[in-house]
Structure 1
Amino acid sequence: MQVGRHQTFKTEDAAFVLQDAIDASDVIGRWEYDVQNDRACADAMVAMVFNVDPLLARSGTSIDVFLAGVHPEDRERTTRQFERHVQSGGCWVFEYRVCSADGVIRWIVDRGRITHDAEGRPIHGDGVLVDVTRMREEERSGDLEDATAARHPLERAAEHCLAFQRTIHELPEPLLQRMSDMMLIELGMALAKVASKPQRSPLN
């Protein structure tokens, strides 16, 4: 994997801007990928979460630049999953950690899809990123039961669906895997609609 151009944002201002924007909505942002030209584009929020220069992300760069922002312990697995789905096409739901511009390690759910042309060649990808760090922290702290009662029903459903999806993907059952992926994607889109109702951050 090539090491891409990263922009380091270690100032207090960058940390506050990024965290405030994520707190406003768990939906981080969108990305698009021109497969044939290996050109990935994303908005400023996605760029900062992956510790990529926002100007570079806006104009487009190699997908390797974004993959370099994935946590080292998750990078190889995530890269393999992404490459496999580029070749097979269709929708996916990945969960992995990223090393963000403010120095914080975040858990994200990446819901995406790759479309193929009439000859079966991958041509275009797009997706949405959702921050699930808070849920992971609640699981580690043992406060999940109390926190769950206060969360939106869709968030609780997504939590159980994530656990179901991870388990199903351990089995050699392609149909069940696709069904679990689609369920999580539908829940994610419903959550995105709920999250879009409050006032959005200026970065989005």
Structure 2
Amino acid sequence: MPRPKLNVDRTCPEAFRHARDALDVVGRWEWEAATDSVRSDAFVALLFNVDPAKAETGISRAAFQAAIHPEDRERILGLIRQCAQEGRAYVTEYRVIAFDGQTRWVLARDRFSCDQAGQPLRGSGMLVDITHLRMAEATSSAIVPHAGEAPLDRAAEHAIAAQRAIVELQDPELKVHADTLLMALGRKLAGQEVRNRRRHMN
């Protein structure tokens, strides 16, 4: 049975209605292995058709996974399991069915860590809505596991951590700066993936 759609007028502010059609909208998420729950900002919640209020405090991983496009789900879940078990990062693209019923493409830059016994501990990442880019380019979906630490990857990792801390501080001015930085890094990551695909095609 399909899940009921969220009330768009109630959960989607006017700013998001405009932002959801942009190339470079960026959101973030965190996963804790101990509870198997995911916390995310409102943008990621709406992309994955879950209640933003519940996503802010933590919701089951299965609720997010249900929004992954059926044709991409097995590939993405397999990649997530492998990277969580190995405690490493990856960059990939896939489709989700968003809160408005529309299929959207996301660029995911995610990282997992393990404890000293090698068991999955936590994960975090950022998502960039690249729907317009994918609609404009008839290219194949790339999967790029990241074993190393490129400068852009390190910057994204620190920006996510900084934004998380600033949210806890509840400082609106700093939050604006953190969001701006994360947005800029998202654009850089999306541009990097475009160049990588073009080199691969050539």
Taking structure 1 as the reference length, the TM-score comes to: 0.66
- Indicate if the aligned counterparts of 2:11 and 2:52 stay in contact, CA closer than 8 A: no
How far residue 16 of structure 1 moved from its aligned partner, in angstroms, is 5.7
- What is residue 168 of structure 2 aligned with on the other side? none
- Indicate if the aligned counterparts of 2:68 and 2:97 stay in contact, CA closer than 8 A: yes
- What is residue 153 of structure 2 aligned with on the other side? 186
- What is residue 49 of structure 1 aligned with on the other side? 47
Q: Percent identity?
A: 35
- After superposition, residues 21-170 of structure 1 pair within 5 angstroms as 21-23=19-21, 26-140=24-138, 166=143
Gaps of 5+ in 1: 141-158, 170-176, 198-204
CA RMSD in angstroms, aligned pairs only: 3.6
Pairs aligned (count): 163
Q: 2:152 & 2:132 partners in 1: Cα distance?
A: 19
SS state at 1:51 partner: coil
Q: Which amino acid letter does the alignment assign opposite residue 30 of structure 1?
A: R
- Indicate if the aligned counterparts of 1:25 and 1:195 stay in contact, CA closer than 8 A: no
| 20-29 or 49-58: bigger deviation | 20-29
Gaps of 5+ in 2: 160-179, 186-202
How far residue 36 of structure 1 moved from its aligned partner, in angstroms, is 2.0
| 19-28 or 85-94: bigger deviation | 19-28
Q: Which amino acid letter does the alignment assign opposite residue 100 of structure 1?
A: A
How far residue 38 of structure 1 moved from its aligned partner, in angstroms, is 0.3
- What is residue 165 of structure 2 aligned with on the other side? none
| Residues 188/73 of structure 1: CA separation in 2 closer, same or farther (3 Å cut) | farther
Q: Which amino acid letter does the alignment assign opposite residue 34 of structure 1?
A: E
Taking structure 2 as the reference length, the TM-score comes to: 0.66
Q: Which amino acid letter does the alignment assign opposite residue 61 of structure 2?
A: I
Deviations 1:61-117 (A, max 9, x none): 111110101111111111111111111111111211000012221100111111111
Q: 1:45 & 1:119 partners in 2: Cα distance?
A: 34
- What is residue 151 of structure 1 aligned with on the other side? none
Q: 1:69 & 1:184 partners in 2: Cα distance?
A: 31
SS state at 1:101 partner: coil
- What is residue 20 of structure 1 aligned with on the other side? 18
- What is residue 172 of structure 2 aligned with on the other side? none
How far residue 182 of structure 1 moved from its aligned partner, in angstroms, is 5.4
| Residues 187/121 of structure 1: CA separation in 2 closer, same or farther (3 Å cut) | closer
Q: Which has the higher contact order (CA 8 A, sep 6+)?
A: 1
Q: Which amino acid letter does the alignment assign opposite residue 71 of structure 1?
A: H
| Residues 25/138 of structure 1: CA separation in 2 closer, same or farther (3 Å cut) | closer
Deviations 1:140-179 (A, max 9, x none): 4xxxxxxxxxxxxxxxxxx9xx97x54xx6xxxxxxx536
| Residues 28/88 of structure 1: CA separation in 2 closer, same or farther (3 Å cut) | same
How far residue 17 of structure 1 moved from its aligned partner, in angstroms, is 4.9
Which runs of at least 4 in structure 1 moved beyond 2 Å after TM superposition? 3-19, 21-25, 181-190, 192-197
